[in-house]
Structure 1
Amino acid sequence: MQKPPFRFGRSMFKDAVWSLVPLFLLALCAVWAAYHFIDPAPPHRLVIMTGVEDSSYQDFAKSYKEILAEDGIELVIRQSNGALDNHQSLRDPNSDVDLGFLQDGLNEPSSDTEVEPLSLGSVSYEPLWVFYRAKQAVTKFSELSGKRIAIGREGSGTKLLALRLLEASGVNGENSKLQAVGRDEAAAQLLAGKIDAVFFIGEPDSPIVQQLAADAQVRILNLDQAGAIVRHFPYLHELHVPHGLINIAHNLPAQDITLLATTTTLAVRDSVHPALVSLLMKAMHETHSEAGLLHSANEFPSSKDVDLELSKDAEHYYKSGPPLLQRYLPFWLATLIDRAALVLIPLLAVLVPLVRAIPQIYNWRIRRRIYRWYGELSFLETRLREKPTDSEIPTMIKQLDHIEEKVQQAKLPLTFSEHTYVLKEHIDFVRRRIQKPHTN
């Protein structure tokens, strides 16, 4: 009798494939869930609120924009009226603003419906300049009582800080004329003699500071109560400005002066992707780590002096530097590997126990096939006990031959050889009973 053509493990291959189907489906589900719900890919666009045109905030943002562009991130710069405006935009749940510059200590409490932003740290000092016109030197804020004072435009941190300091010194709208005007207009009115004093925040090398310091009719308030004021307002700093700092050639100011300063804080929404926070920290470090006129090298960026909660990602950056992968790999590749790792963790949690179960699933499929043959054989034995007629015997033999043929052609693992031989013996046993149907 010619043997049937050899089929190289077709049934075994089929059993192996069907044993792997649950593994494949669960792995697919795990990857889909991880891709959609675990650490989505960072966006390629951020929106930052700065301040008025030509402010230091604008300069900082332009520097960030260039650095982020190297990693394919677009930074959209939007002007505002100042720090309070920025804070309000960051707290507004309907705003698309991602980050903005604030002034430390000047952020008003948010309401229950607003989202409080997180801090990435302070990036620079913001000196408070008070220029005034008077014959006698002014060294205290209280000596401005009765004057016409420009305190900064609406929505600016300058106005809020000026009001706090003047109120603490007994100067208010009842005994003085306080005007909420911007720095450019305030400077023009001061030079024209229409106001007596102006509060504004700016760098020593800013055009307005240079212009007012050079005017012979204008003086800079040299604050002799700075030490006491910073005790009452802990978010403020006492700055000592050496003579000549504003302009060495013209020795401006002509003597050492003492100023107050707050710090500029870069704040973000808590929804900003952690990978982008790391890039922002890198941009902050490259922009602000060098020495400036008012600070030493590596003094900024800093996690000190913030009245907002510090971002966990920023805190990790201050302690350990940039993430390991971002130190040596391009941003897109480091982010891809990070996301892949987050996908693999839940995937392994599902696959490890399932892989262990694969041999059991495979063995169950093999046993199920053998048990099915035993079931067919048992059915024939049951019919034998019912005393089949002579006309039914050929049909039963044909059914038995069919079972035997399937067993002979089956390609089963060697571990199941014993089950196969036992099944063949049972087939022979039933065959003998069929051939002698009336024998018990």
Structure 2
Amino acid sequence: MNKDSLRIAFVSLIILVAGFGIAYQFVEPAPPRAITIASGGPSGAYFAYANRYAEILARQGITLTVLETAGSLENIDLLASHKVDVAFVQGGTGDAHKNPELVSLGSLYFEPLWVFVRAGLQVEKLNDLNGLKIAAGAMGSGTWAVAQQLLDINQMPTDAPTILHMGSNEAAESLLKGDVDAAFFVTSPTSALIGQLLAEPAQSQVKLLNFIRAPAYTRQLRALSAVTLNQGVISLGRNIPAHDITLLAPAATLAAREDLHPALQTLLVRAASEIHKDGGLFEEPGQFPSSRYVDYPMSDDAERFLKNGPSFLERYLPFWAAVLVDRLKVMLIPLLTLMIPLAKILPPAYRWRIRSRIFRWYKDLIRIEQSALKTQDAKTRTALRAELQTMADEVRDLNVPLSYTDEVYNLRLHIELVMRSLRPPLQ
């Protein structure tokens, strides 16, 4: 490669580097390698699921720290105060107007409200519990958020001394001991605590309330859905439950701050698909994760994933490679906007550069020829011949690409032509 080619290539490289430098200012930063999720108590489904999310994200090099909390309401506060990046939130407990900076990554599964009542009590409807001792969930928990709404619409006082606030394990223990008459739980049917209360010998001590007025509740509280715990679904051999039971169920959702990196939002939804896609006792396969049953606006990235699945890059590249390519795709803009014009400009520029090395001699050649026509002084013409001979020697040493040698030879012919006009006539 000659010097002219190197100069033009160097200038082009500087232009491209400058373009990439400007474009890089608009490249989205890389996602953080560690985030925190607010779960719930260690005995609850949120905590168990959070650890499954942590395992899946660890495969992609992301550390997900699981933070134990009192439940949904505390999780929302932690999100709003920037203390966690993502959290499990029970449907119906979030307020998009109060926390506009939060988004939903989708609903995950139905999380039924289980109301267990001491055996022997004549309780057919929720308001039959009025005046009895009720363990209605810990303050700040999703259980209390739902219980409070249900007590309100049944015109039952929520601040009565018979309304007790305690965690799930304490509530179950108090119910089995007979210290409370009823206990509310909002949790997955896979919870060990629910399994304990539904199994024998607990069934001789407590019974599960059947929400016979479920349609009325779901019309007044839109965050709730009616689901059926079918006869024998817990244990066919022991026929647990002994008959179909209707329950009210909010949906467990995954919420995040809207400034959580888009790649991590997509990765979390992808993990949710892996964990929840098969459904359960109350969910059909493929029903979750879903953009329904959410309190906060859906994240654009999450909704796009739920609608279209993983992108082309996510299907065929590891997470970090897909993120890197996606981040740097903005660099294609300067590549295209600069390379296309450069491809049109560089060949003419190269030709101009080479030909300018040849044509610059013509200025002196024309000057010498015009001087020769204006004078017949022997001394002056001798000096012009010497100058012309120097030019001829320099042109002979001129190095140009083969495709331009014809122009060099034309220049040498023109130099020889002027040289002839300066030679003295033969005597």
Same fold, TM-score > 0.5, yes or no: yes
In 2: Cα distance, 1:346 partner to 1:164 partner = 56
Give the TM-score of the pair, scaled to structure 1: 0.82
Q: Does the residue aligned with 1:37 lie in a helix, a strand or coil?
A: coil
| 1:393-404 → structure 2 map (5 Å cutoff) | 399-404=387-392
2:354 to 366, 374, 390: 366
Displacement of 1:265: 1.1
State the Cα distance separating 1:238 from its structure 2 match: 0.5
Asked if the contact 1:98–1:269 (Cα under 8 Å) also holds between the matched residues in 2, the reply is yes
Correspondence for 1:99: 86
Distance 1:159 1:320 in 2: 37
Give yes or no for the alignment of 1:68 onto 2:53.
no
Match of 2:66 in 1: 77
SS in 1 for 2:343: helix
Choose which of 259, 282, 290 in structure 1 pairs with 2:270.
282
CA distance in 1, matches of 2:55, 2:331: 32
Give the alignment of 1:119-268 within 5 angstroms.
Answer: 119-133=104-118, 135-173=120-158, 177-213=162-198, 214=202, 216-248=204-236, 250-268=238-256
Matched residue type, 2:175: L
Distance 1:270 1:401, change over 3 A: farther
Q: Distance in 1 between matches of 2:132 and 2:416?
A: 120
Shift of 1:380: 5.8
1:190 aligns to what SS in structure 2? helix
**Contact 2:70–2:138 (CA under 8 A) maintained in structure 1:** yes
What is the aligned counterpart of 1:88 among 60, 77, 80? Answer: 77
Letter in 2 for 1:121: G
Give matches, 1:320-331, under 5 Å: 320-331=308-319
Q: 1:240 to 1:435 in 2, by over 3 A?
A: same
Letter in 2 for 1:151: A
Q: What letter matches 1:220 in structure 2?
A: L
Q: CA deviation at 1:31?
A: 3.9
Whole-angstrom distance in 1 between the partners of 2:370 and 2:38: 86
Q: Determine the C-alpha separation between the residues in 1 that align with 2:4 and 2:183.
A: 86
- Match in the other structure for 2:396: 408
Counterpart of 2:35 in structure 1 is: 46
**Number of the residue aligned with 1:3:** none
Residues in 2 aligned to 1:276 and 1:290: alpha-carbon distance in whole angstroms: 23
CA distance, structure 2, for counterparts of residue 74 and residue 33 of structure 1 = 32
Per the TM alignment, residue 234 of structure 1 is displaced from its structure 2 partner at its CA by 1.9
Q: Partner amino acid for 1:98?
A: D
Deviations 1:164-185 (A, max 9, x none): 1211111123556433322222
Q: Which residue of 2 aligns with 1:5?
A: none
Rounded to whole Å, the distance in 2 between the matches of 1:182 and 1:21 is 71
User: Which of 71-80 and 381-390 deviates more?
Assistant: 381-390
Percent sequence identity is 38
Q: Size of the alignment, in residue pairs?
A: 421
Q: Distance in 1 between matches of 2:225 and 2:276?
A: 18
Segments of structure 1 that go 5 or more residues without pairing to the other structure are 1-9
Q: CA deviation digits over 1:335-394, x for unaligned, max 9? A: 455456553354123211211111121122124333433444566678889989988877
Let me know the Cα RMSD of the aligned residues: 3.4
- Greater mean deviation of Cα atoms: 195-204 or 380-389: 380-389
Residue equivalent to 1:109: 96
Which residue identity is paired with 1:256? D
Deviates more, 1:405-414 or 1:230-239: 405-414
Q: Distance in 2 between matches of 1:416 and 1:427?
A: 17
* Counterpart-to-counterpart distance in 2, 1:36 and 1:43: 18
TM-score, normalised via structure 2 length: 0.84
Question: Which amino acid is 1:107 matched to?
Answer: G
2:297 is equivalent to residue 309 of structure 1: yes
Structure 1 match to 2:15: 26
Q: Is the 8 A contact 2:103 2:299 kept in 1?
A: yes
Q: Is the 8 A contact 2:253 2:294 kept in 1?
A: yes
Runs of at least 5 residues in structure 2 that lack an aligned partner in the other structure: none
Structure 1 position 321, deviation (Å): 2.4
Secondary structure in 1 matching 2:111: strand
| Partners of 1:89 and 1:374 in 2: CA distance | 80
Cα deviations by residue, 1:259-279 (Å, 9 ceiling, x for unpaired): 100111122333444444443
TM-superposition CA deviations, 1:289-327 (whole Å, max 9, x none): 224223233332223222322233333333332223433
Separation (CA, whole Å) in 2 of partners of 1:396 and 1:310: 86
Change (3 A) 1:115 1:396: farther
Partner residue in 2 for 1:7: none
Distance apart, 1:229 and its partner CA: 0.7
Q: Answer with 236-245 or 187-196: which moved more.
A: 187-196
Task: Supply the AA of the counterpart residue of 1:158.
Answer: T
Structure 1, 166-175 or 225-234: larger mean CA deviation: 166-175
Per-residue CA deviations over 1:157-200 (Å, capped at 9, x if unaligned) read: 22222111211111123556433322222233333444333222
